[in-house]
Chains A and B, each alone.
Chain A
Amino acid sequence: MNYSIIIIIALIIVSLSMLAMLIRVIKGPSLADRVVALDAMGIQLMAIIALFSIFLGTTYMIVAILLIGIIAFLGTAVFAKYMDKGKVIEHDSNNNH
């Protein structure tokens, strides 16, 4: 019983912080602000899922947490590359179709 109250409080806190991140994503003057906010949102999402797993008493969601971790990293990396070079996948210099 106590556990669940704590978990709900934690969930609310994470959700609020996620909302704050969302505002940053919407307002964010530059693309970099938004990408960083999105990355943070991904990690908050991991936290939410972890809290949920405890709340629902299941272990099936652990995979999802790991996956989000990978994806959040990948997404951020892709955005970063995009902002850096203007393209995501670079072509082989020899194979210039």
Chain B
Amino acid sequence: MSLLHIAVLIPLIFALIIPFVYRLHKRLHLGWFVLPVPLVLFIYFISYIPTTMSDDAVLLEADWMPKFGMNYDLYIDGLSLLFSLLITGIGTLVVLYSISYLSRKEQLGNFYCYLLLFMGAMLGVVLSDNIIVLYLFWELTSFSSFLLISFWRENSASIYGAQKSMLVTVLGGLCLLGGLILLSIATHSTSIHEMIANADNIQTSPYFILSMVLVLIGAMTKSAQFPFYVWLPDAMEAPTPVSAYLHSATMVKAGLYLVARMTPIFAVTQGWVWAVTVVGLVTLFWASLNATKQQDLKGILAFSTVSQLGMIMAMLGIGAVSYHFEGSESQLYSAAFTAAIFHLINHATFKGALFMITGAVDHSTGTRDVKKLGGLVTVMPISFTITLITALSMAGVPPFNGFLSKESFLESVIEITHVDLYNLSSIGVLLPIVAIIGSIFTFVYSIRFIGQIFLGSYHEDKLPKKAHESSLLMLISPIILALLVIVFGLFPNLITSSIIDPAVNSISKSVSKPAEFHFFHGFTPALFSTLLIYLIGIILIFTFSYWVHLLKAQPDKLTINYWYNNSGKSVQLYSSKFTDTYVTGFTRNNLVIIFLTLIVMSAIVLIVTPVSINFKDVSNIRAFEVVIVILICVAATMMVLAHSRLFSILMASAIGYAVAVFFIYFGAPDLALTQFVIETISTALFLLCFYHLPNLNRHNETKSFKAVNMLISIGAGLVVTIIGLIAYGNRHFASIANYYKAHVHDLAHGKNMVNVILVDFRGTDTLFESSVLGIAGLGVYTMIKLRSKKNTKVEGGNNNEQTEK
């Protein structure tokens, strides 16, 4: 255990302590106790920057279940450090923000417990080197996210959203587990960095494609990619700090982290490049289109998050092309990795701030509906400034950081069309077009976001509360984030060499050239497309009321939500229908299933395997045996055909006595004795039962029912007979009976071999058979004596008298 191991566990430990603090200490807001945790961790992780800057990676091992290959190994390189800093940094700000956002009337103990649980899980995901531990933390993020979304659990929408996100992310999580297991089978290792070192083994293994698909599904569900983004807009029912933290800055980026981490393993196939890029672009396009028509501020931000995640995903896909080239050409495409990492940081800053402002506006006005809001610029000037900065950054306007990363994105998308690989040059033309259209809509909703809240006319009467500027405490975090937006925008070099470059180096194969970002780098296609985006975007904003109807005309059937809800309903419907087909409540139907299974299974085995019926061990048939067999057959037939119950019982006992005679004939006096006694007692018991039973009708006994029963019984009899004959004819070893015969007297001092076996050689069986009898006796006694009083009063007295013959 090193300090880093403890650092990952600290949030989890505090998650245990915090509820107790909450119980004991009520005067100060609980958030103040939580705040130091991410802050200290953030400072601690900053101390790793010099290590990763020199392209060193630290691997710290701790045994957990070494035989199983599940060890608590942590690996810190540029990529995981970047994510750790994001998690702890944004975590600090979110905790600070939540202090003013959540009042002390809320269940703060729960909230901070879940939040810390999530924080620890997320740190575990990005720092784990062991895939099984990674999966463990991965599921813990899903789980804690579920708890956080359903924080206001009286609200049915929260429960719905939480369930939806749980189902989707756990589906992905399980796929991921499958993929990871396949990877570990292919490499005989559970360590990620060893897998990357042995990537060749994976690429030649038969599981390569399957594991790639499964890992991708896992990453796509977590990162809300098309078509798995459905859960994210509904997760907006969570408290705003949660939305800001989980659903914009950290959890949804876990999928991106995974894609980036697995790139060195999978990037050699065109499937990976295509899947990641296309899914990312489709998500970017689809979500930005949907974001423009949302009426709820958080809805806009949710779809915007989805589209930005799609953009980062697409860049990771494009960057993977660099694995197919060498040298400088490779560096050209790995520039997309730089853009992806830079945008990842930028998105965390501006989206976090936007969510926090949304929460502040919600707190101040009591609504998040864009139709009611407007004209708040004079009321909330600070919020307006922050929104202006961050939303413009989201739209990709200079001089903010969003512009830089969007420029790099467009550059790499245009660059990709020049690649002479997998037909990218022909179909690839579509990629920049889709990206540009997506960016136009991003521009539209970002600018409208500012306008909808702060510009226009102020409707005081529509707002539930009287609007006012938020408290300073609530604004500190968004102000810090907005400052970062400006600082990263104006001085990107502050973080390029220290954070971005190490992160890119841990994704890409070759050492990439140091990242550089400029506001203006000549008249490139990227610049022209940016200008085109602004132009069309501005035109679209002014004509918004004309074309928004087109978007809203999207029929319900074409939304993924519709299919999600429908599939949820139909799964329930069809599974209950299916269950109803065989769970009928009739024992006879269950027996039909059991016997049919027996017949079919045995028949298949008999047909598939070569069997022979061998008569070599069969002795001569004697006359008296035939007589008894005929007797038994007649009695059995009469028993089945009998109309009266009494006659059936008589025939059953006739069979029993005939069997006893068999025993005598085959020289088994002990068996015969027992059989005689038992047969008599059971006949008596049958008669006793028969006497108490009401005269039940044999209902529903149609001809086809009887025919089916007959077929099944004949089948079962045939199968058992054939198996018996085969078994008899194919004995491979001599019987052990000779040993008993030889030693019954000298070892056990007995002459009756059956009895010696029962009480000496195999005495344990006898012991437990005796206990079975004891249990049966006790059971009968309890059933008779301890009937509930109610029944006894109603029926008990009558039961004895109701005799029907």
Contact = CB atoms under 8 A, between A and B. Distances in A.
Interface stretch (B42-50, B657-665, B703-711): B657-665
B540 interface: no
A45 B661 contact: yes
Contacts of A41: 657
A86 B803 CA distance: 8
Given A64-B664, A97-B792, A75 B669 contact: no
Given A15-B627, A31-B646, A82-B691, A88 B638 contact: no
Given A15-B627, A45-B657, A97-B796, A34 B650 contact: yes
B664 A26 contact: no
Given A22-B634, A49-B664, A86-B803, A68 B676 contact: yes
Contacts of A45: 657, 661
A71 B634 contact: no
Contacts of B646: 31
B796 A38 contact: no
Nearest to B627: A15
Interface residues of A, number: 36
Contacts of B792: 97
Contacts of A15: 624, 627
B539 interface: no
Contacts of A75: 680, 683-684
A97 B660 CA distance: 38
A5 interface: no
B672 A64 contact: yes
A63 interface: yes
Contacts of B1: none
Q: For chain B, what secondary structure do more than half of its interface residues adopt (helix, strand, loop), or is it mixed?
A: helix
A63 B624 CA distance: 21
Given A26-B638, A61-B669, A64-B673, A88 B680 contact: no
Contacts of A87: 691, 800
A42 B683 CA distance: 14
Contacts of B174: none
B688 interface: yes
A58 B672 CA distance: 15
Contacts of A68: 676
Interface residues of B, number: 32
Contacts of B667: 56, 58
Interface in A42-97: 42, 45, 48-49, 52, 56, 58, 60-61, 63-64, 67-68, 71, 74-75, 78-79, 82, 86-89, 91, 96-97
A88 B657 CA distance: 21
Contacts, number: 69
B676 A64 contact: yes
B687 interface: yes
Nearest to B684: A78
Given A15-B627, A75-B683, A60 B669 contact: yes
Nearest to A26: B638
A10 B224 CA distance: 92
B654 interface: yes
Interface in B596-631: 624, 627, 631
29 contacts: A11-B624, A15-B627, A19-B631, A25-B654, A26-B634, A26-B638, A31-B646, A38-B650, A38-B654, A41-B657, A42-B657, A45-B661, A52-B665, A60-B669, A61-B664, A63-B669, A63-B673, A64-B676, A67-B673, A71-B676, A75-B683, A75-B684, A78-B687, A86-B691, A87-B691, A88-B684, A88-B687, A88-B691, A91-B800
Interface of B: 624, 627, 631, 634, 638, 646, 650, 654, 657, 660-661, 664-665, 667, 669, 672-673, 676-677, 680, 683-684, 687-688, 691, 784-785, 792, 796-797, 800, 803
Interface of A: 11, 15, 19, 22, 25-26, 31, 34, 38, 41-42, 45, 48-49, 52, 56, 58, 60-61, 63-64, 67-68, 71, 74-75, 78-79, 82, 86-89, 91, 96-97
Task: Enumerate the 9 nearest inter-chain pairs by beta-carbon distance, A residue then B residue, closest first.
Answer: A60-B669, A71-B680, A64-B672, A67-B676, A61-B669, A49-B664, A64-B673, A15-B627, A71-B676
Given A26-B634, A56-B667, A89-B688, 8 more contacts: A31-B646, A34-B650, A48-B661, A63-B673, A64-B669, A68-B676, A82-B691, A87-B691
